[in-house]
């Protein structure tokens, strides 16, 4: 016997979460299907036996898992986080090999810049999850005494994670930590440009998450388009501003909130003469790791004209110290994602002075760590800049040095373009450091180093304006993927609300109540 049961509104069936009125619960007896959650229109087309494609089915499985309450309890969240940790640890060598095939990264770089950062996020979440999920009491105004209130962090539902190719492990799984910690289910879409890493995820995710807490969709950009047609409760996307706009438009159709990590031209300032060699080494490491294909890499560095030659020479020495005289033969130096991107990067070298590197091989997807000198025009940066490398995010191993007269002029240059994802300041002057902190707006400011903000779980990671919206990492991930629901309780006795209900006495009592309310 087969039975079909429909439920609308706030009804609870078999203890699952209350279903929105836009969904129906289908219960099929005889062990065929139990508790599938479908949209009404899909049910009318034939439900589980209809013609909806694999993408729709993946989202429906994630929705069903969430509505059945499999992710809500603290123990379930811990188990999911531990499954994610087990997957990374047990297959670390395979992940390193896949990333090596896709991007030419060394095992050590993948371990430090990707796997270890995700494992750190998991450890932090497991340590603090009980505190994060605990109801948070808040005060109520005197006028509502003896009422009391608290905030409850409840999961959003099904979260879509659209990951880029440049850090195919970290930028897919670091947001997932927060999604799972907050009690949601997730649909993952890795980049198809990192084929080997995507194939590995496609094989491992069903093994470590057989209960549909995490579902993965592979394929090219067409699959991403199909996913964006679905209804999600939150979308997090990392990538270009162009695609970010597409994601945001699609999300608007369903009024879905989004987190966008978009990158941009992150500037650096240098005037720390006493620490020239160390600063140059840190700038070079931050810029040329992953062959410059990092959203928070220094995109260009500004300094005063009298410092240009010394900084250029120090950067050239730093490159040789880090990757040798021929980085192409160094296994610690990666490759460009595609030959097409090599062509794009090579175009930035036309008409500029190359002071380090500059060689590239299209078929080998190789470009050497390259330093160029760019004359500062007006505007210094943005679509109207004279040098091609200063018009848009470089996203590759080319570092322009731009001479400007002073830190104030550097600040003015930063204001000429979108707010950057990061700003790096290498200065021994407190006044200069304070100037950049207060006179500019960016996703983050780092003094004396680059990239290291990514490894700090107590700091949020995210952009502002043209470099993105929203943030995650650590507790900020938990908050991003949770709804902080206010719960307010007002006892029936004493009935103090009677003082604000008609008929008003228009005397001292009304004036006293107004005075209390206005003071908060």
* Tokens representing residue 261 in the block: 């990590």
**pLDDT reading at 382 higher than 80:** yes
Local confidence band at 51 (pLDDT 50, 70, 90 cut-offs): very low
Known active-site residue 295: yes
For residue 62, which of 157, 146, 155 has the smallest C-alpha distance? 157
| Distance of alpha carbon 224 from alpha carbon 494, whole angstroms | 56
Report how far residue 104's alpha carbon sits from residue 92's, in angstroms, rounded to the nearest whole number: 16
> What is the mean pLDDT of the segment spanning 120-132?
97
- What does the angle CA 390 – CA 395 – CA 396 come to, to the nearest 5 degrees? 100
Looking at per-residue confidence, does 145 or 389 come out higher? 389
Cis peptide bond N-terminal to 130, omega within 30: no
CB 217 within 8 A of CB 194: no
**CATH no. for 267-462:** 3.40.309.10
CA dihedral over 324, 329, 334, 338, signed as positive or negative: positive
Asked about 261 being catalytic, the answer comes back as yes
Domain with CATH 3.40.605.10 in the chain: 74-262+473-482
Model pLDDT, residue 30? 30
**Range(s) for CATH 3.40.309.10 in the chain?**
267-462
Q: Has residue 40 got a pLDDT over 90? A: no
Tell me how far apart the terminal alpha carbons of the chain are, to the nearest angstrom.
61
Cα separation, 489 vs 166, in Å, equals 49
- H or E element: which one contains 110? helix 107-110
Q: Residue range 489-512: average pLDDT?
A: 82
For residues 319 and 317, give the distance between their C-alpha atoms in angstroms, rounded to a whole number.
5
454, 175 Cβ separation under 8 angstroms: no
The closest alpha carbon to 250, from 236, 266, 230, belongs to 230
CA distance 210 to 194: 24
Cα 54 to the center of its chain, rounded Å: 26
Instruction: Please provide the DSSP assignment of 293-306 as one string.
Output: --TTS--EEEE-GG
User: Does residue 44 carry a pLDDT above 70?
Assistant: no
For residue 487, what pLDDT is reported? 96
Count CB neighbours of 482 within 10 A. Answer: 23
* ∠ CA 214-216-219, rounded to 5°: 170
- As a whole number, mean pLDDT of residues 366-388 equals 93
Q: What is the mean pLDDT of the chain?
A: 89
User: pLDDT digit string (tens) for 218-236?
Assistant: 999 899 999 999 999 999 9
Mean pLDDT, range 15-26, rounded to an integer: 38
pLDDT value at position 10?
A: 34
In b/e form, how buried is each residue of 161-200, taking b as 16+ CB within 10 angstroms?
A: bbbbbbbbbbbbbbbbbbbbbbbbbbbbbbbebbbbbbeb
For residue 402, name the pLDDT band (cuts at 50, 70, 90): very high
Nearest to 262 by CA among 232, 287, 296: 296
Among the options 65, 109, 295, 392, which is catalytic?
295
Helix-helix angle 195-208:92-103, to 10 degrees = 160
**pLDDT level of residue 378 (50, 70, 90 thresholds):** confident
Res 49 pLDDT > 70 = no
CATH topology assigned to domain 74-262+473-482: Aldehyde Dehydrogenase; Chain A, domain 1 (3.40.605)
Q: Active site residue: 226, 261, 392, 418, which one?
A: 261
Once rounded to an integer, what is the mean pLDDT over residues 30-42?
A: 36
Residue 25, pLDDT > 50, answer no
Q: How far apart are CA 492 and CA 226, in angstroms?
A: 51
Backbone conformation region of residue 488, classed left if phi is above 0, alpha if psi is from -120 to 50, else beta: beta
Q: Rounded to two decimals, what is the model's pTM?
A: 0.88
């Amino acid at each position: 016997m087969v039975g079909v049961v429909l439920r609308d509104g706030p009804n609870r069936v078999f203890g699952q979460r209350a279903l929105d009125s836009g969904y129906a619960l289908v219960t099929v007896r005889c062990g065929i299907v139990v508790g599938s959650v479908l949209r009404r229109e899909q049910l009318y087309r034939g439900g589980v036996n209809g013609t909806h494609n694999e993408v729709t089915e993946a989202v429906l499985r994630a929705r069903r898992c969430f509505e059945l309450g499999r992710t809500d309890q603290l123990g379930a969240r811990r188990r999911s986080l531990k499954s994610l940790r087990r997957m990374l640890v047990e297959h670390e060598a395979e992940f390193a090999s896949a990333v090596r095939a896709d991007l030419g990264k060394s095992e050590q770089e993948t371990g430090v810049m990707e796997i270890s950062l995700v494992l750190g996020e998991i450890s932090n979440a497991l340590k603090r999850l009980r505190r994060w999920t605990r109801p948070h009491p808040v005060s109520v105004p005197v006028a509502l005494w003896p009422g009391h209130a608290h905030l409850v962090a409840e999961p959003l539902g099904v979260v879509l994670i659209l990951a880029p190719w440049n850090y195919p492990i970290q930028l897919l799984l670091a947001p997932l930590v927060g999604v799972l910690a907050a009690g949601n289910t997730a649909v993952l879409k890795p980049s198809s440009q990192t084929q080997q890493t995507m194939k590995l995820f496609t094989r491992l995710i069903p093994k470590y998450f057989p209960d549909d807490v995490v579902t993965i969709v592979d394929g090219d950009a067409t699959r991403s388009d199909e996913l964006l047609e679905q209804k999600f409760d939150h979308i997090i996307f990392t990538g270009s501003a162009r695609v970010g706009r597409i994601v945001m438009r699609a999300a608007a159709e369903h009024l879905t909130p989004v987190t966008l990590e978009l990158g941009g031209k992150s500037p650096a300032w240098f005037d720390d003469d006493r620490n020239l060699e160390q600063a140059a080494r840190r700038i070079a490491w931050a810029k040329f790791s992953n062959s410059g294909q990092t959203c928070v890499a220094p995109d260009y560095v500004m300094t005063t004209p009298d410092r240009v030659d010394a900084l250029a020479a120090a950067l050239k020495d730093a490159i040789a110290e880090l990757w040798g005289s021929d980085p192409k033969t160094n296994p610690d130096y990666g490759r460009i994602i595609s030959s097409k991107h090599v062509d794009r990067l090579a175009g930035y070298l036309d008409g500029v002075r190359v002071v380090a590197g500059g060689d590239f091989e299209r078929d080998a997807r190789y470009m050497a760590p390259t330093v160029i000198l760019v004359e500062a025009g007006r505007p210094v940066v943005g679509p109207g800049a004279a040098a091609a490398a200063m018009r848009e995010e470089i996203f590759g191993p080319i570092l322009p040095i731009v001479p400007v007269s002073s830190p104030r002029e550097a600040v003015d240059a930063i204001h000429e373009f979108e707010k950057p994802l990061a700003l790096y300041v290498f200065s021994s002057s407190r006044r200069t450091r304070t100037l950049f902190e207060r006179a500019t707006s960016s996703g983050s400011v780092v003094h004396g180093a680059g990239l290291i903000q990514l490894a700090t779980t107590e700091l949020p990671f995210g952009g502002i304006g043209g470099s993105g919206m929203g943030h995650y990492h650590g507790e900020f991930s938990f908050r991003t993927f949770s709804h902080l629901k206010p719960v307010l309780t007002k006892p029936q006795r004493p009935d103090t609300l009677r003082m604000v209900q008609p008929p008003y006495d228009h005397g001292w009592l009304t004036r006293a109540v107004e005075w209390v309310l206005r003071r908060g």
